[in-house]
Structure 1
């Protein structure tokens, strides 16, 4: 893939994470030219020229960034360059300047310091072997922290604020930098399978506001891997599409793969999205739906079919195995004996994640993005109501909330409201409503297994890779991070439109939705563009109307909120677009500071910023640092994060000179 990628990631990341999707034809070949007419109204009024392409961004104005790009930090938590003044909030900080992508440093504001909580290979149980990458072992990895953590949450569970559960997933692996090239290949493959999945780990600290440390051997510690049994729920469970030689009932799936973002529910469970599952299978591209999901009959990216026949779906016995992946999974972190579940009622696609809101009347909605070029934005509304409290009845009810309900896909319109030229309109088009399919010639089971096909038929709006989608619990507004889409407006692909305002969209944008009546169960919404990302002095960038200096931002990926309702955005792809390290940014949504983007941290060479958690009242920020040193090799590593062991110094027990994906905590210096 070197020199062949069209997107923003490294060739290695593109190959491992998404099976080199940017080098293949766009899976969605159903987009209709008439969509351009739907959006034309908004494009005609508020556009600027960006490299010869129209950009629909309300009053988009090129802005300037004060000062040159400074050098990155030397050592831990110290930056040479600063940008702007300390923000006035519960989490006050002096914004850092942008960091060159070549720097191998984790950079934080001058008032803060950073440390790791967990690194790949850290032992989680009393009998866990020590980290030893020179000798890969699946048995050891099943008892150690997994690789490439993405979604993250820190659930403080005592009044003193001194105990918590860390919950995170492990998205994918990179054999080339993890293990020696001459290691036993079958054992390596088994170890890679064990490094996928999920982790729940107990944490403790001396007092609130201080750094956490994990508790090895704690009773709630848990690893979920590519071989852990999952229960299928919803109408597609037990259907013909789910049955295999190993599971003739079609109700139990082994493992979860490609887990990206997620969400924490009001009832205390963790959601995670199975995203790029296609790269794990060798499959017949002529079988129903496979081409639409990017499956093909080449050897898989990981080669798991060499040790486990279920990953070879060209075999009739396992033809249906890929249909059992691509769902939202739910895990109860409080019960290490519980069986995790895959919810077919929420549809099958390349889920980035799912985030839940609950209205005062108990209506539950979950918002989801399909992370593929020209795919769609979805919403699930439960047929049950949320029950507050800790009673057995409430818990039993709430554990069923995601097993049955209405499934919608978004259709954006370029028509604008007469009373507000900055707002467009949109509707949630039902795919499943009151237990019945609303898609012609498709059963409920088919809609849930072939959700992309169903959304195609209902003329949903093709988006620029809508990744994390999260409602603000303060305002109810929903924020959609559209990471990028370099195929927009190329060849026969759809041109820019109102909701995707830039052709060859390398830098991405963020959309703000306001549902009718601010209700979770609404079937229509207003929307506007919050950000059009890129360098501040680049034509067409837009920062919610803010007219002062801002930090550069590109490829928005994960979003989170602090206690004040301020938006935080982590990035995935800045090195390939604006030459800067991926980062975490703060963006106020209200008042005079609305749209004032400032940068809080930057991650090391080749790394992506994932899973931001903002405990602003505690003075803490947490991120998952994924794929540091991705472009290196076993013999020549490209990052030394997080241990940074000097070449002349012998690593201490548990250290390693190579990169280790890690969970990082940033705390105030006291």
Structure 2
């Protein structure tokens, strides 16, 4: 059934350790920014800007002009009841917290544990190495093999999804997890980064990818326990079979010596965040795939060299040296292999025999995630961010309608929804004079960072033929080299677009911009109204509004919902809520919504001296902007994959102990199993001890 202390001496511009930057993103912060375009659009695009202030601040009606010359009338809530304007009363924020956020906020800390609010309890649901597939052995870090790892929970869990089993299994759910990357220093005793062994490399291949595992609920609490060796449990790794589908499948740009059809790929890499579809599948974004491919600097073909550079592919040897053991990771031997990564992967977790699909119609870039919603007539709209300094955010609008029901025909149809439709990139315009956006984060005279935006068409995929909307590029080139297409049409350079989620209640879309310490540096783009701080180390969250019933339109209004950092910093902003009544937050990353419509934010690389954490913030009502910290994670860890249900909160604790100088022999954390045990990424469930719902 589908049912606040400064960090010192970190050249990375964030709270991440150098070790994390090496293994997670291939030291992206030390490399030249891939986007060197000046973004002056020379095509024939009409500016479709419109007033957003009356739309987002009051109940006044707003008319949106579309490219076709028609008009769409929107209310203040995008088809929903108008939100209450932030109160100017200095007493605002007193009294009871927003529903869903009624817990005592966790104070910033540096404890080597998962710290949760008073009155709450927690358990580790599943750890790296726990056996999940039939025949998989118990975890033994001293005798780990690739065969064992292929049947065990993977490393560095990130995105999480919980799906119902139904059919009499109401207390069981299907947990789907991404396994983003490996840190071999923390996996293998005596690891030599210059000379990894074949066995170590093959274990790392098997520790990447995706995991599916059934979990059992405790009927008295929110505790979850993994059901090992269940028939639905599954691992997909860097050597599993995946299919390329959609407009670029079979393209000459995707063919290799091992796959002359251009339709079959081995593996998925660096899966970061993702999404859960209304038709019961999960989506998984391939993010920092560029770091796994070697020798791009020796490619002599000018066009291909430029493409590889735009995607930040390693110029020389890679950190993990995989190219020594498989030629597909060497750009000189397999020039197209890297083009087969950087996609959104769709998985049917209910079918353990299904082959996951890489959806080329959603474009290729460093996908943080992909979360869909439906238009009124049932067509999926998917929002996506490209996690790179000065890169863009996108949406895809399917041309097909979802079919309801559990029939085989409906399922097969729904597995084609993301192969046909139109891919867009966002261009934003601020509504304040340029002189009022000076890079300091000071609010302009109108009291908001806000403006209008347009979705620019890049390409359309259809069964009758694919169409490019970008001058000088074929449709196949647009889908495979989407970054260059965004450059050509003048998309807005953003401060690392990460997770993007539409609110299930209001349809408003929240775009998480983690940070960008290159903003405003010599030769780099300076501040603009959507990215208002130079040397931006704390990040911000953008809120945009489209037609609630028809998000397939090409215009939107936007404003900054949250500008992160120490609330005592004048440049921070919490949707107008009193700043002395919020938790400090830095480097927002993954987001989700709770049953009450609050946005929950996990952080990555906290620049305020505390460990990363999970925060809830009200998005509507008189307490809009009220932000409270719910938990913190252990030393060196990042908070990932948040899920908030009525009875529980789930987080993926990624890379605990990943601190400079750490190794298996010299651990920098003892989480989750205590001293003398190897540090292991894991999934944690949190619930109220009194059995009541979270935050009420």
TM-score by length of 1: 0.88
Map 1:552-567; keep pairs closer than 5 Å: 552-567=584-599
* Matching of residue 22 in structure 1 with residue 29 in structure 2: yes
Provide the secondary structure at the position in 1 that maps to 2:400. Answer: strand
Q: 1:572 aligns with which of 600, 604, 608?
A: 604
Note the C-alpha offset of 1:85.
Answer: 8.3
CA distance in 2, matches of 1:531, 1:421: 11
Give 1:329's aligned residue.
345
CA distance in 2, matches of 1:501, 1:4: 22
1:420-452 per-position Cα deviation (integer Å, ceiling 9, x unaligned): 976410000000136310000100100011100
CA distance in 2, matches of 1:334, 1:427: 37
Map 1:461-472; keep pairs closer than 5 Å: 461-472=492-503
CA distance in 1, matches of 2:364, 2:545: 25
Note the C-alpha offset of 1:366.
Answer: 0.1
Note the C-alpha offset of 1:8.
Answer: 3.6
Note the C-alpha offset of 1:302.
Answer: 1.4
Give 1:450's aligned residue.
481
CA distance in 2, matches of 1:530, 1:518: 22
| Contact 2:101–2:628 (Cα < 8 Å) also in 1 | no
* Matching of residue 258 in structure 1 with residue 270 in structure 2: yes
Provide the secondary structure at the position in 2 that maps to 1:356. Answer: strand
Q: 1:212 aligns with which of 224, 227, 239?
A: 224
CA distance in 2, matches of 1:224, 1:421: 45
* Matching of residue 172 in structure 1 with residue 202 in structure 2: no
- Inter-CA distance 252–213: structure 2 relative to 1 (3 Å threshold): same
Q: 2:683 aligns with which of 660, 663, 666?
A: 663
- Inter-CA distance 623–181: structure 2 relative to 1 (3 Å threshold): same
1:147-203 per-position Cα deviation (integer Å, ceiling 9, x unaligned): 000000122323774010000010001111111116972101110110000000011
Provide the secondary structure at the position in 1 that maps to 2:542. Answer: strand
CA distance in 2, matches of 1:194, 1:33: 44
Give 1:48's aligned residue.
none
| Contact 1:7–1:22 (Cα < 8 Å) also in 2 | no
Note the C-alpha offset of 1:204.
Answer: 1.4
1:252-281 per-position Cα deviation (integer Å, ceiling 9, x unaligned): 000000100000000010100000001101
Provide the secondary structure at the position in 2 that maps to 1:455. Answer: helix
CA distance in 1, matches of 2:460, 2:139: 50
Q: 1:125 aligns with which of 110, 133, 144?
A: 133
| Contact 2:121–2:687 (Cα < 8 Å) also in 1 | yes
Q: 2:532 aligns with which of 477, 494, 501?
A: 501
Q: 1:356 aligns with which of 372, 383, 390?
A: 372
| Contact 2:86–2:624 (Cα < 8 Å) also in 1 | no
| Contact 2:86–2:622 (Cα < 8 Å) also in 1 | no
| Contact 2:86–2:623 (Cα < 8 Å) also in 1 | no
CA distance in 1, matches of 2:199, 2:521: 44
* Matching of residue 94 in structure 1 with residue 119 in structure 2: no
| Contact 1:344–1:448 (Cα < 8 Å) also in 2 | yes
Provide the secondary structure at the position in 2 that maps to 1:384. Answer: coil
Give 1:279's aligned residue.
291
1:456-476 per-position Cα deviation (integer Å, ceiling 9, x unaligned): 000000000010000001100
Provide the secondary structure at the position in 1 that maps to 2:666. Answer: coil
Provide the secondary structure at the position in 1 that maps to 2:151. Answer: coil
Larger displacement relative to structure 2 (478-487 or 304-313): 304-313
| Contact 2:221–2:689 (Cα < 8 Å) also in 1 | no
Provide the secondary structure at the position in 1 that maps to 2:355. Answer: coil
| Contact 1:283–1:319 (Cα < 8 Å) also in 2 | no
- Inter-CA distance 85–224: structure 2 relative to 1 (3 Å threshold): farther
* Matching of residue 231 in structure 1 with residue 243 in structure 2: yes
Provide the secondary structure at the position in 2 that maps to 1:426. Answer: strand
TM-score by length of 2: 0.84
Larger displacement relative to structure 2 (84-93 or 329-338): 84-93
| Contact 2:290–2:311 (Cα < 8 Å) also in 1 | yes
- Inter-CA distance 182–608: structure 2 relative to 1 (3 Å threshold): closer
CA distance in 1, matches of 2:40, 2:261: 43
1:122-142 per-position Cα deviation (integer Å, ceiling 9, x unaligned): 011231111111123101100
Q: 2:410 aligns with which of 391, 394, 399?
A: 394
| Contact 1:533–1:554 (Cα < 8 Å) also in 2 | yes
| Contact 1:141–1:194 (Cα < 8 Å) also in 2 | yes
CA distance in 2, matches of 1:568, 1:669: 21
- Inter-CA distance 60–9: structure 2 relative to 1 (3 Å threshold): farther
CA distance in 2, matches of 1:582, 1:516: 35
Note the C-alpha offset of 1:84.
Answer: 9.8
Note the C-alpha offset of 1:367.
Answer: 0.1
CA distance in 2, matches of 1:406, 1:13: 36
| Contact 1:271–1:331 (Cα < 8 Å) also in 2 | yes
Give 1:76's aligned residue.
none
- Inter-CA distance 85–198: structure 2 relative to 1 (3 Å threshold): farther
Provide the secondary structure at the position in 1 that maps to 2:417. Answer: coil
- Inter-CA distance 195–84: structure 2 relative to 1 (3 Å threshold): farther
Give 1:51's aligned residue.
none
* Matching of residue 490 in structure 1 with residue 502 in structure 2: no
Note the C-alpha offset of 1:94.
Answer: 1.7
1:319-367 per-position Cα deviation (integer Å, ceiling 9, x unaligned): 1000000000010000000000101110000000100001221121000
Larger displacement relative to structure 2 (25-34 or 604-613): 25-34
Larger displacement relative to structure 2 (381-390 or 2-11): 2-11
In structure 1, stretches of 5+ residues that fail to align are 43-58, 65-82, 648-656
| Contact 1:8–1:506 (Cα < 8 Å) also in 2 | no
- Inter-CA distance 487–33: structure 2 relative to 1 (3 Å threshold): farther
Provide the secondary structure at the position in 2 that maps to 1:89. Answer: coil
Provide the secondary structure at the position in 2 that maps to 1:385. Answer: coil
- Inter-CA distance 192–626: structure 2 relative to 1 (3 Å threshold): same
CA distance in 1, matches of 2:315, 2:449: 47
Map 1:25-424; keep pairs closer than 5 Å: 25-32=32-39, 87=97, 89-90=99-100, 92-100=102-110, 103-158=111-166, 161-181=170-190, 185-207=197-219, 209-285=221-297, 286=302, 287=304, 288-315=306-333, 318-415=334-431, 423-424=450-451
Give 1:512's aligned residue.
543
Number of residue pairs matched by the alignment: 614
Note the C-alpha offset of 1:120.
Answer: 0.4
In structure 2, stretches of 5+ residues that fail to align are 1-8, 52-84, 434-444, 691-696
CA distance in 1, matches of 2:225, 2:101: 22
CA distance in 1, matches of 2:233, 2:649: 22
Q: 2:658 aligns with which of 603, 617, 630?
A: 630
| Contact 2:375–2:549 (Cα < 8 Å) also in 1 | no
CA distance in 1, matches of 2:277, 2:41: 38
| Contact 2:10–2:17 (Cα < 8 Å) also in 1 | no
| Contact 2:448–2:560 (Cα < 8 Å) also in 1 | no
| Contact 1:586–1:597 (Cα < 8 Å) also in 2 | yes
- Inter-CA distance 160–588: structure 2 relative to 1 (3 Å threshold): farther
CA distance in 2, matches of 1:8, 1:27: 22
- Inter-CA distance 419–579: structure 2 relative to 1 (3 Å threshold): closer
Q: 2:453 aligns with which of 426, 432, 452?
A: 426
| Contact 2:209–2:271 (Cα < 8 Å) also in 1 | yes
- Inter-CA distance 509–422: structure 2 relative to 1 (3 Å threshold): closer
Q: 1:546 aligns with which of 561, 577, 586?
A: 577
